Amino acid sequence: MHGYEFYIDPSRCIGCQSCVKACEECETHRGKSMINFDFIERGSTTATAAYVCWHCDEPTCAMACPADAIKKGDDGIVQSSLKPRCIGCSNCVLACPFGIPKIFPELEQMMKCDMCYDRTSIGKRPLCATVCPSQALSYVRPEELARRREKPTNVFYFGKQKITTRVHMMTPPGTDTVSLDVLDYMWEEKYVAAAQPE
């Protein structure tokens, strides 16, 4: 918006959680951070990654919502759930391929990142991108990325489903899409191997 785009580079994340703390400062959801912060494999590595909502072009969360509470506006931002409509059913939590929406059972409400709409709609940066010291989360003009070796992509494949997003992921050069098949990460091979006749 206003010529800026959001870029996420997980390889730059140093795990300082400044984004988490900065997001909590927002008045509309004070104390609750909308950043999805992952310890990737805590037992064996210090690698971390921070994600915000990817604002998909055809948002799965919105399409799965039974209360029609999630809307995508003209500017491409998928808003957080509408307070009068959300019934806290967690359908969106289950539907989102990136695992972004957070359910707050005490409020019976889902809340998620809306790219600091109160800031980005008037040309300011989202808080997380403003405070990230390594610019793992960055909100810049596309030209400024030319200096980086990684290239942005916004096409994801989850199994056979293609998802295009507003937020870009920085990937090694030559990678056009990010493909993920959940089955690849399941450990049923162990059982399949065990079930094979000797």
- Please select the residue that binds another protein; options are 39, 40, 73, 142, rule is CB under 8 A: 73
The nearer residue to another protein, 85 or 148, going by C-beta atoms, is 85
Report, in Å, the least distance between residue 71 CB and another protein: 5
70 part of the interface to another protein, by CB under 8 A: yes
184 part of the interface to another protein, by CB under 8 A: no
Over 151-188, what HEC string results? EEEEEEEECCEEEEEEEEEEECCCCCCEEECHHHHCCH
The nearer residue to another protein, 59 or 126, going by C-beta atoms, is 59
Listed in sequence order, the residues at least 6 apart from 34 whose beta carbon sits closer than 8 Å to its beta carbon are: 23, 26, 52, 53, 80, 102, 111, 112, 113, 114
Report, in Å, the least distance between residue 116 CB and another protein: 19
* Of 95, 97, 61, residue with least CA distance to 80: 61
59 part of the interface to another protein, by CB under 8 A: yes
3 part of the interface to another protein, by CB under 8 A: no
Part of the chain binding another protein (CB under 8 A), chosen from 37-45, 66-74, 115-123, 139-147? 66-74
**For residue 39, what are the CA distances in angstroms to 83, 149, 156, 158?**
31, 24, 22, 21
Report, in Å, the least distance between residue 40 CB and another protein: 31
Token match 């919105």: residue? 62
The residues that touch another protein, with contacts defined as CB under 8 A, are 59, 62-63, 65, 68, 70-74, 76
